[in-house]
Structure 1
């Protein structure tokens, strides 16, 4: 079977055979080798030839058989991506990863984390699909486990700082992002600024440290208030209800991520608290929900498109260019001021 042939037939029962590479070649009067070059995007054929081949393939409904191609070339050209199914920010990252991967001739296989499907299961699925490299978004596994995994297939940790594991890291400077938030709120006149934590993990640690450091830099040590939370809207809603019960609202609240901020906004608005008139609220991630007019959330952008581009570039350097030394790429986040922050009343 040619590396670009689809399955020879759709089975018995008189089903119409699926078109093959030979059918496309016959339609345009070229050799199968020339047609294969066009369909693989290899330089050489003229633009006129490329257009003729692509039109013929589309007219015939020809689809390359990835399995046959992988067996012929001994490469799958698949990148495995682990994603938290509940995260709007990670979904946006995946969209940008798709674009960046397609530009360099790769495709993605997605494996999800859910409430009942953990990280190790998600990773095992990616390896089972013969992914050549893994892009893990915010992995929580110990560095030693990720280092072992990197010996099976190149690993990029996207979003999480990892030291001493010898694998590639592409992330945003989380502590700097929180520092920008505190600078913004202090410039508006806020002093009682609380922080809703993100729980365990390196990313949560970095953002928590950024909050503490920035508060101290502004001489607000005694105003430091870290509230227990996690990654979810439910956590933000719970914190909001706790703050309302205490009847001593801070003038501003910063949350670990946009999901938590949206939960907090919901609790405050349900209770008739004006945001930002009574309390300013800031999230982190600049996900798609934060941009909706009903939330209009001040937040921190991690530059998702550039994170994705750098992650795919790191993979290509490992797979196609032979780089062996690990790299860490740290991007500067940027504050996005919207309608949930204002000077304290």
Structure 2
């Protein structure tokens, strides 16, 4: 009897030690299935393809999981499945507020549909300042069996995306897909947006309108071309001038300085985005020029920066939230994914503020 009692005491002590070192046993999908009174297969489907499960059953499973403290191991499930449950999100430029708005909208929509995204920058900068697509991140999303891929903005080398397995759908937001025909795209209409800018400036009496942009990739080139088309439409082709600028504030500052030095007659600067416009405003202010009395300045994308009262920048609203909603609607279900090569253009609108009108 004493030996039996000692054995039991030892067993309890050993279990206590295991609990202290290993913690309580982690709940499994099988536990959740029992708690929710559903099959294990249904629990798995809730976490892999929630759109295939009714809202009521999803609520039951999520409530049971919450009670048990269950958390699915998405890495393991992705690796063991033909297609993972998460959506990879690649952002070309983490410094662009427009892209942040699109990603926030997409994540909100995915969450409402019971899905989620894993985000990373798609671009890495070398020590000499040149940028390139980070193939390691692209490959990591493929290795983890992402169910789909969202690319926000333009990546330097789209061939890395072209190499992805053909069964991984690709959606591009805020960029064209000329070099990536396997993808579907939703973006703003650059022609309409830049035409609205030029028309607005012409209505205020401006004729010598310079464009800061054209560098930094296809999106910048498209807006420069749209500016030139609009200037021609209004009979101002002899005043067309594109001053090379990328998408950052410093680039806009330097481009504006060059225009103000070499083209003193320019009375308006139409910029490729809001960050470039901020750089141009800084350059004008340093020279003692009044905005908009001496020089009018417009941005593009209508990021939150444009609406700050101290900045009050006239800018083209590209419909970032609508772009995000459309992209998310394609990503949440295989049935909603459009054919490769599909491109949706969201109509832009001009938001007029003090940088062009006192």
TM tier relative to shorter chain: 0.7 to 0.9
Instruction: Name the residue aligned to 1:134.
Output: 149
SS of 1:290's equivalent in the other structure is coil
Instruction: Name the residue aligned to 1:92.
Output: 101
- Note if 1:256 corresponds to 2:272: yes
CA–CA separation in structure 1 for the residues paired with 2:163 and 2:138: 12
SS of 1:228's equivalent in the other structure is strand
Distance 1:86 1:115, change over 3 A: farther
- Out of 66, 69, 72, the position equivalent to 1:61 is 69
CA–CA separation in structure 1 for the residues paired with 2:118 and 2:294: 46
Equivalent pair of 2:215/2:244 in contact (CA under 8 Å): yes
- Out of 114, 120, 132, the position equivalent to 1:118 is 132
Distance 1:290 1:11, change over 3 A: farther
Equivalent pair of 1:254/1:281 in contact (CA under 8 Å): yes
Equivalent pair of 1:143/1:163 in contact (CA under 8 Å): no
Instruction: Name the residue aligned to 1:211.
Output: 227
- Note if 1:173 corresponds to 2:189: yes
Instruction: Name the residue aligned to 2:7.
Output: none
Equivalent pair of 2:132/2:157 in contact (CA under 8 Å): no
Equivalent pair of 1:150/1:167 in contact (CA under 8 Å): no
Equivalent pair of 1:85/1:114 in contact (CA under 8 Å): no
Instruction: Name the residue aligned to 1:226.
Output: 242
RMSD, matched Cα: 3.2
CA–CA separation in structure 2 for the residues paired with 1:334 and 1:106: 31
Equivalent pair of 1:243/1:249 in contact (CA under 8 Å): no
Q: Which runs of 5+ in 1 are unaligned?
A: 1-9
Instruction: Name the residue aligned to 1:202.
Output: 218
CA–CA separation in structure 1 for the residues paired with 2:158 and 2:39: 47
CA–CA separation in structure 2 for the residues paired with 1:90 and 1:110: 12
Structure 1 residue 243: deviation in Å? 3.9
Distance 1:35 1:133, change over 3 A: closer
Cα deviation, 1:194-244, whole Å, max 9, x if unaligned, reads: 110140422122111111111111111222121111111101111233344
Give the number of the structure whose alpha-carbon radius of gyration is greater: 2
Instruction: Name the residue aligned to 1:36.
Output: 43
Distance 1:257 1:153, change over 3 A: same
- Note if 1:151 corresponds to 2:166: yes
CA–CA separation in structure 2 for the residues paired with 1:225 and 1:323: 39
- Note if 1:102 corresponds to 2:107: no
Equivalent pair of 1:111/1:126 in contact (CA under 8 Å): no
CA–CA separation in structure 2 for the residues paired with 1:311 and 1:22: 34
Q: Which runs of 4+ in 1 moved over 6 A?
A: none
Structure 1 residue 145: deviation in Å? 5.7
Instruction: Name the residue aligned to 2:13.
Output: none
Equivalent pair of 1:147/1:167 in contact (CA under 8 Å): no
Cα deviation, 1:245-302, whole Å, max 9, x if unaligned, reads: 4481521101111111111112222333221222111011111222222212111111
Structure 1 residue 129: deviation in Å? 2.8
Distance 1:316 1:18, change over 3 A: closer
Q: What is the aligned length?
A: 330
For normalisation by structure 2, the TM-score amounts to: 0.79
CA–CA separation in structure 2 for the residues paired with 1:90 and 1:25: 39
Equivalent pair of 1:196/1:228 in contact (CA under 8 Å): yes
